Amino acid sequence: MRNFALAKQIVQTLVKAGFTTYFAGGWVRDYLMNHPSDDIDIATEAPIDAIQRLFPKTIPVGLSFGIVIVVIEGHQFEVATFRKEKDYVDGRRPTHVESATPEEDALRRDFTINGLFWDPLTETLYDYVEGQKDLTLGIIRAIGDPHARFLEDRLRMIRAVRYSTRFNFSIEIKTDQAIIAHAKSLFPSVAMERVWQEFHKMAQFGKLDSSFLELYRLGLFTTIFPELQNLKIQELEKKIEPFKRFPKKTPVIAYVLELFPDRSLEEQLSICEYLKLSRAEKNFTLFFYRAKKILSMPKDWKIELVEWAHFYTDPQSHVCLQIFGNGLPSKDRNEFFDFHQQKQHLLKKSIERIQKKEPLVTSSSLKAAGIAPGKQMGLLLQEAERISINQQIQDPQEIISQLKKMPLWSCS
């Protein structure tokens, strides 16, 4: 509510200065759908210099497009001058922008449900594109000629899918046909980073599974992932079926990696490079690959407790367990989760010591026992941890007694 009050204050200031000003786009859509939102964009006939003059703190983010960030009480609001755009040459951005009326501004936008304006001072809706009607009908419709809209900005094809699956709306037939017609031209106009951002937004609303199916239907999925061009829809449905059981905080890359379950680590890291992912996402990919190797070991394969303790200590282990377990046949899931719950309970103290970096046997302990700092001490500390966890020994002296019986202890 504070954001609303501050955004309304911006509108009041601009209107008082003689400039028509409204809330615009997504906030209006969400408001009409009774979906509360704090993300308020403002559209005005005020030019940039007037906006900067009226507000003491602004951030220039897109002056050539008539966009500035107004900062009030630490809250940021995007304020844009009503504009019309011409001459899209790269499939993403216009080369010419000029001031416009509110109606002309609405007509340049992507979809009718995003082309609405709201006057918070008079509580009046301004709808030049029949967006309210399409909200009622549950339709994603491009404004004007859909072919022109998608040639202007090809990312809009991905956005159409995101809105469709998020709101459970259907894509209007002409808009649908235009996406199919232009799906193969997504790249190179659209940067992979922008596609990845859209994937994150799809996942934010728990719609990545249905989004993948819709992207597949429209021909966008195999444009993004050409290696899956021979994948049948039934195979994709099988791959994404477990998605609905994944934790909310599942990294987006985990969903994508489930499309390539049999790929080597090198191949999976190549996928990360292709998608232009962050270091954190690459690190997750590395841990996820190793986790699946451990979790898929046969029951009679003896994995040491110390290895399980280090696995459970990693913050990413929980989501890996959930992903792997929920991908198992239903008859095996309970046994899988029970096994790991019991194992974590058994190793609780060991896990806590690893997390706090408080081993039972320390370098000081070994130094007091006559071991000098160096490679030997490092190896003995590793052995001490292994003995402590594998044998569940809590007494440091007992661990040291066992170390003294090892050939490593007497090595010089």
Q: Residue ranges of the domains in the chain?
A: 1-137, 144-231, 242-358, 372-409
How far is it, in rounded angstroms, from Cα 233 to Cα 217? 8
Of the listed ranges 82-96, 157-171, 225-239, 321-335, the least confidently predicted one is 82-96
> Using one digit for the tens of pLDDT, what is the confidence trace for 181-215?
999 999 999 999 999 999 999 999 999 999 999 99
The predicted pLDDT at position 214 comes to 98
CATH no. for 1-137: 3.30.460.10
Q: How confident is the model at residue 355 (pLDDT cuts 50, 70, 90)?
A: very high
Report the distance separating Cα 62 and Cα 162, nearest Å.
25
Confidence band, pLDDT 50/70/90 cuts, at residue 238: very high
Please compute the mean of the pLDDT values over residues 373-379 and round it to a whole number: 90
Burial of 293: CB neighbours in 10 Å, binned 0-12, 13-18, 19+:
exposed
In this prediction, residue 124 has a pLDDT band, given cuts at 50, 70 and 90, of very high
| The Cα angle at residue 293 between residues 287 and 297, in degrees rounded to 5 | 145
Higher-pLDDT residue of 90, 60: 60
pLDDT at 146 > cutoff 80: yes
Q: Is the dihedral of CA 355, 291, 289, 329 positive or negative?
A: negative
The pLDDT value recorded for residue 1 is 67
pTM listed for this prediction: 0.86
Q: Do domains 1-137 and 144-231 have the same CATH topology?
A: no
pLDDT band at 300 (very low <50, low <70, confident <90, very high): low
CA distance 166 to 163: 5
The pLDDT assigned to 97 comes to 65
Tell whether omega for the bond before 188 is within 30 degrees of 0, i.e. cis.
yes
pLDDT surpasses 80 at 87: no
Quick one: angle between helices 317-326 and 279-295, nearest 10?
Answer: 50
Joined tokens for residue 304: 């040491």
- Residue 297 has a pLDDT of 83
pLDDT at 298: 75
Domain 144-231: top CATH class:
mainly alpha
Amino acid at residue number 5: A
Average pLDDT rounded to a whole number, residues 316-327: 94
The predicted structure's pLDDT at residue 369: 87
337 secondary structure, DSSP code: H
DSSP type of residue 298: -
Please state, in angstroms and rounded to a whole number, the distance separating the CA atoms of residues 38 and 5.
10
> Is the separation of the CB atoms in 160 and 141 below 8 Å?
no
Alpha carbons 174 and 151: distance in angstroms, whole number: 14
Q: Determine the pLDDT at residue 55.
A: 94
